Amino acid sequence: MKLWVVMFVIMTVIIVSGVKLEHSLLTTTDRVSQSLSTIEEYIRADKWSEAEKICRETSQDWGKIIHKWNPFLHNQELDLVAIDLARLLSLLENREKTDALVEIAGLKVQLVQLHHQEILTLQNIF
């Protein structure tokens, strides 16, 4: 009987941890996507310093989150988002409007893909 209780507690901890990790991932990708939309608005309005500031903050936040997720998620796209954020920051520093907007569009697609890969669905389980 004790074995069943222990197994139930362990399974409950695993499931709750997975749900919390999924929620954290989805919240973060939504927040980054909103930041990218704000950066895009600033680029269109030629407010480069504001766009750079938000991009730096977003990149730093993403770097902190990746270190928390790495033991649980082994996904190359986490690293690709970090690389693309660094590339976007470089484009913003050089005032490359068209290239920066293209990079933002690519980042948004990556975030949507990451969102769909990590969300808990039967398709992702099997």
Query: Which residue range(s) make up the domain with 71?
Result: 33-120
Q: What is the tens place of the pLDDT at every residue in 12-69?
A: 988 888 788 788 888 888 899 999 999 999 999 999 999 999 999 999 998 888 887 7
The reply to whether 69 falls in a domain is yes
The reply to whether 24 falls in a domain is no
Q: Which two tokens stand for residue 50?
A: 């504001």
**41/39 Cα distance (integer angstroms):** 5
| Cα 111 to chain centroid, rounded | 6
Domain count, the chain: 1
Q: What residue type is 96 in one-letter code?
A: E
Q: What is the tens place of the pLDDT at every residue in 3-17?
A: 888 898 999 988 888
The reply to whether 4 falls in a domain is no
The reply to whether 103 falls in a domain is yes
- Whether this prediction's pTM lies above 0.85 is answered by no
- Maximal C-alpha separation, the chain: 67
